[in-house]
Amino acid sequence: MKKLYFITGSQDLYGDDVLAIAADHGKEMAAELSAAMTRVSVEWQPVVRNADEIFSVCMKASADPDCVGVIVWMHTFSPAKMWIRGLQALMKPMLHLHTQYNERLPYDTIDMDFMNLNQSAHGDREFGFICTRLGIKREIVTGWYGSERVKAAVRKFADTALALDLSRGMRVAMFGNNMRDVAVTDGDRVESEIRYGWSVNYYGIGDLADMIAGVSRYDADEKMREYADKYVIRTDDLESVREQAKYEIALRRFLAAERISAFTDTFQDLHGLRQLPGLAIQNIMADGIGFAAEGDYKTAALMAVLCRMAEGREGGTAFLEDYTYDLAGVPTELASHMLEVSPVFASARPAIEVHPLSIGGKEAPARLVFDCAPAKGVSVSMVDMGDRFRLICADTNIVEPVAKMPRLPVARIMLRPEPDLAVGAAAWINAGGAHHFVLSTSLDAGDIRLLAKLTDTELKEINADTRMPFGC
Ligand code: MN
């Protein structure tokens, strides 16, 4: 299990007795926080008293592959010049927990010894100053460590720290390049690796075609049985379904062999494939592997990161596209894609159907067709502004379709963005938000805010309080 280091700051000035109590308190607090975590443990570290000990624990955290982040707090005063060298060496996300051991002030017994020992209100401000002065992007949570509110905030930090742990060193594959002439899906891959750790590389579709040709009949049969278990098969064209089964098997082998967490394809580069991968990618996306169409590596990588963040929560997270509107009544958007909508949003068992695509010039691909269950969520888009990346996060609602769409053979999601479509879409377009995004019903704007903060990424939020925007 991955872990968060629990680091208690102090100084030599107070003597061994006070430092021993600070250590006992810290151990108890770390154990209680650890018990409240679901995805990480919280590991107590010896109280740090001087610049060398601070540097040493920061180096240890940075070098420990199981450590995804640090929780730091000051039990006493800890002069912050002592922290400069250590903080400069700290490579892991930080949660500054502004807390104290005691919840209540012991009015009857409080004396100067108590004041001397319990002074995080004092010491955490000194620590906060040096973090701000150094420009360190960190989460700050304030309150008694034993409260449910604080524990929930630490769990959220852990989710983001785990997502960043995946992000750093994540490998992303592009089968083919960015769709020809498309602007918003393109981006600076070098800068993506510097800022987020995404190693984004091109792979030839022909190599995948060879792997597809190598899938045995036995393995394809087994995948067909999995499809029959999970989905309703609403087609007689089982050979087309089998073709997607082979794509899925080959893709999963490729992803495993190359340690890939997110990938893209493009319908303009499918040489050697008879169909555009549809069902294959839908079934893969449901496992939280990042995907986006048309060479959109940013959205694919963002999906993988957000799926890691959302692991274990209710709801779903996946790539989606804006398509068309119902502007009558309460305006609603139909979001979908040519094929690749993740079944994590399905309201009922999806059906496998085979229909021709109107673009791309390939054979009719098998795909999952379904409607989606109503839910609250966020739409998250990442765009390259030339000198920086920008995240756009919009609160949205999946709503019930007002009518059936019997002739539309793809998955469909009806969205009603906050505060309404008119303002929500205007604000999104004004911010440069893409027609590609990650929809999540597991995450909220607070999660995305924390991700943006810890990665020092510009964020534009759109929600119920948004008014019609004027200028960027
Ligand atoms: Mn598109």
For β-strands 94-98 and 67-74, DSSP reports them as parallel
358, pLDDT greater than 90: no
The Å distance, Cα 381 to ligand 1 centre, comes to: 13
The Å distance, Cα 167 to ligand 1 centre, comes to: 23
- Residue 265, C-beta contacts closer than 8 angstroms, at least 6 positions apart: 175, 176, 205, 276, 277, 281, 293, 295
The Å distance, Cα 147 to ligand 1 centre, comes to: 45
Q: Which two tokens stand for residue 24?
A: 């006992």
The Å distance, Cα 187 to ligand 1 centre, comes to: 15
Distance CA 263, CA 450 (A): 25
363, pLDDT greater than 70: yes
Distance CA 170, CA 125 (A): 36
72 three-state secondary structure:
strand
pLDDT in tens, 123-132: 999 999 999 9
Distance CA 92, CA 176 (A): 34
The Å distance, Cα 73 to ligand 1 centre, comes to: 46
The Å distance, Cα 191 to ligand 1 centre, comes to: 23
The Å distance, Cα 338 to ligand 1 centre, comes to: 9
Contact at 8 Å (CB) between 279 and 355? no
The Å distance, Cα 386 to ligand 1 centre, comes to: 20
361, pLDDT greater than 90: no
Helix (H) or strand (E) holding 436: strand 436-440
The Å distance, Cα 108 to ligand 1 centre, comes to: 67
193 three-state secondary structure:
helix
The Å distance, Cα 297 to ligand 1 centre, comes to: 12
Contact at 8 Å (CB) between 171 and 259? yes
The Å distance, Cα 224 to ligand 1 centre, comes to: 29
The Å distance, Cα 305 to ligand 1 centre, comes to: 20
Give the DSSP per-residue string, 198-238.
-EEEEE-HHHHHHHHHT--HHHHHHHHHHHHHHSEE--S-H
Fill in the DSSP letter of residue 22. Answer: H
Distance CA 291, CA 303 (A): 7
The Å distance, Cα 295 to ligand 1 centre, comes to: 9
Distance CA 258, CA 198 (A): 14
Amino acid at 434: A
Q: Mean of the pLDDT values across residues 104-120?
A: 96
Residue 338 binned pLDDT confidence (cut-offs 50, 70, 90): confident
What local confidence, expressed as pLDDT, does residue 468 receive? 81
The Å distance, Cα 437 to ligand 1 centre, comes to: 10
Q: Which two tokens stand for residue 164?
A: 């960043």
The Å distance, Cα 61 to ligand 1 centre, comes to: 41
Residue 469 binned pLDDT confidence (cut-offs 50, 70, 90): confident
What local confidence, expressed as pLDDT, does residue 235 receive? 97
254, pLDDT greater than 90: yes
Percent of the chain residues past pLDDT 90, beyond the cut: 96
Q: Which two tokens stand for residue 326?
A: 């119902």
The Å distance, Cα 321 to ligand 1 centre, comes to: 6
What local confidence, expressed as pLDDT, does residue 360 receive? 74
The Å distance, Cα 322 to ligand 1 centre, comes to: 8
The Å distance, Cα 293 to ligand 1 centre, comes to: 6
The Å distance, Cα 182 to ligand 1 centre, comes to: 9
pLDDT in tens, 77-108: 999 999 999 999 999 999 999 999 999 999 99
Percent of the chain residues past pLDDT 70, beyond the cut: 99
Residue 428 binned pLDDT confidence (cut-offs 50, 70, 90): very high
197, pLDDT greater than 60: yes
The Å distance, Cα 270 to ligand 1 centre, comes to: 16
Distance CA 144, CA 150 (A): 7
Owner of token pair 């009518």: 403
Residue 471 binned pLDDT confidence (cut-offs 50, 70, 90): low
Nearest residue to 282 via CA among 397, 404, 366 = 366
Contact at 8 Å (CB) between 75 and 26? yes
The Å distance, Cα 294 to ligand 1 centre, comes to: 6
Q: Mean of the pLDDT values across residues 378-388?
A: 98
Residue 472 binned pLDDT confidence (cut-offs 50, 70, 90): very low
- Residue 69, C-beta contacts closer than 8 angstroms, at least 6 positions apart: 4, 5, 92, 93, 94, 95, 157, 158, 161, 164
- Residue 352, C-beta contacts closer than 8 angstroms, at least 6 positions apart: 227, 231, 232, 233, 234, 235, 241, 279, 366, 367, 368, 369
Average pLDDT, the chain: 96
pLDDT in tens, 141-195: 999 999 999 999 999 999 999 999 999 999 999 999 999 999 999 999 999 999 9
